[in-house]
Amino acid sequence: MAARKEHGMSRKVVAASSGNVLEWYDFTAYGFLAPIIGSVFFPSADPVASLLASFGALAAGYAARPVGSIIFGHVGDRIGRKPALLISVFIMGCGTLAIGLLPTYAQIGIASPIILVVLRCVQGISVAGEYASSGVLLTESSRPKQRGLIGSWIVFGMTGGCLLGSGVSALASNVLGQEAMQEWGWRLPFLFGSVIAVFSLILRWHLTESPVMTARARAESSPITTAIRTQWRPMLKIIGIVLPTGIGYFLIFVYAASYLTDQMHFTTAQALDISTISLVVFACIAPISGYLSDRFGRKPVMYVTLIGTLVLAWPLWTLMHEQSLALIFVGQVVLAALNGIGWAMTIPMMVELLPAKVRVSAVAMSYNICLAVFGGTTPWVATYLVERTSLDYAPVIYWMAAAVIAFVIVLKLPEMARKPLP
């Protein structure tokens, strides 16, 4: 009986995580290919202007996420976690396929970048409930002593998507070469993403609903309105907790990849190879961190990533500006490990702060506001700050400031590990 339950939980973890694989695959591939996408859809005599426009389209997708939080939070709290997950992955997959087939600026002119931005916004809306709904469903379905570990598998799935995004992009770049990637090869990673969407839909069709979704636990009125009215303090805390992890991820795996190619003059293949290996470390450390948080508490594990960021971010960023690939690799790997610990704590800490009736809405809105305002804009902000200040360390100062805010918030939080959910 116990073995059957464990098998059922394993299948639920895979099904719930699969949409996060697609979400982060798509956004990681887009971020790593941003220099090419910028030149194809936003041609300009100034490469920095093209790159900023490309990152702007990425940020537009995150800006649309709060709208998606309202829609999918309502579905998740009123109808069920499973329907929200099915609808979101279907729309996301359609958007990924459309980008892979989209004509370029040279083919249809100004309509091309406009359509690209619209597609990114539609995708942003569709994935707004993805991380929240899947994380809530898994955490609600797990035993109290395993919530950290079970929730961390969402991060593992997210990282699997990142690995696929960087790995497929790196493979295409190595096999096809820079010229072919510029002409048509950039489409292949997006077309492959539609295959992931089909696989996720099949898995989720057989997914069982969260045991919390009884008639008593369903929201009786507008869940987002109730959440803002009654849970605004926990929601603000969640934004602060997610802040350094969101900024850190986009600095390490999106901004740094483009910086290495555009400013340090490494090839796209070299930059993607470093990021791919760093993501392996990120993926492996997430379940370990989740397990340790179940044993020793969420707060001690969270302190490791926040204090580590404050102490090590500056010297590690120095390594990433060296001409040696080996030193750059060391800097990015250690930064990735610190960031992975923080991401592993986001799911259990968010879920444990909120009541069941508005849990999806509150988590989705808080998480997506943070990523929309701070996470998705990080590559654009970092590029802009360096360009305006001529200070290569401006992005890391931005990240360290976010870590200070999160540290103050975590310091005042109650420890919720192994305790019943609200």
User: Is 330 domain-assigned?
Assistant: yes
Return the higher-pLDDT residue of 127 and 265: 127
Mean pLDDT score, 234-262: 86
Return the higher-pLDDT residue of 24 and 151: 151
User: Is 422 domain-assigned?
Assistant: no
What pLDDT is stored for residue 262 in this prediction? 67
- 68 has pLDDT over 90: no
Tell me the Ramachandran region of residue 80: left when phi exceeds 0, alpha when psi lies from -120 to 50, beta otherwise: left
User: Could you give the number of structural domains in the chain?
Assistant: 1
The pTM is what?
A: 0.83
Return the higher-pLDDT residue of 135 and 44: 135
Q: What is the mean pLDDT of the chain?
A: 85
User: Is 16 domain-assigned?
Assistant: yes
User: What is the pLDDT confidence band of residue 1, given thresholds at 50, 70 and 90?
Assistant: very low
CA–CA separation, 203 vs 198, rounded Å? 9
What pLDDT is stored for residue 264 in this prediction? 64
Domain that holds residue 83: 2-412
User: Is 120 domain-assigned?
Assistant: yes
User: Is 421 domain-assigned?
Assistant: no
Highest mean pLDDT among 49-58, 121-130, 223-232, 272-281 belongs to 223-232
The distance of Cα 339 from the centroid of its chain, to the nearest Å, equals 12
User: Is 165 domain-assigned?
Assistant: yes
Q: Who's near 274: CB < 8 A, 6+ residues apart? A: 260, 325, 328, 329, 332
Mean pLDDT score, 313-327: 86
Return the higher-pLDDT residue of 57 and 363: 363
Mean pLDDT score, 265-271: 70
Residue pLDDT, tens place only, 230-244: 999 999 999 999 999
User: Is 180 domain-assigned?
Assistant: yes
Spatial CA neighbour of 224 closest among 74, 356, 63, 87 = 74
* Per-residue b or e along 130-169, where b marks 16 or more CB atoms closer than 10 Å to that residue's CB: bbbbbbbbbbbbbeeebbbbbbbbbbbbbbbbbbbbbbbb
Residue pLDDT, tens place only, 26-40: 877 887 787 788 778
User: Is 245 domain-assigned?
Assistant: yes
Mean pLDDT score, 324-338: 89
Domain CATH for 75: 1.20.1250.20
Residue pLDDT, tens place only, 194-215: 899 998 898 888 888 888 776 5
For 353, the 3-state DSSP assignment is coil
Residue pLDDT, tens place only, 288-309: 999 999 999 999 999 999 999 9
What pLDDT is stored for residue 343 in this prediction? 93
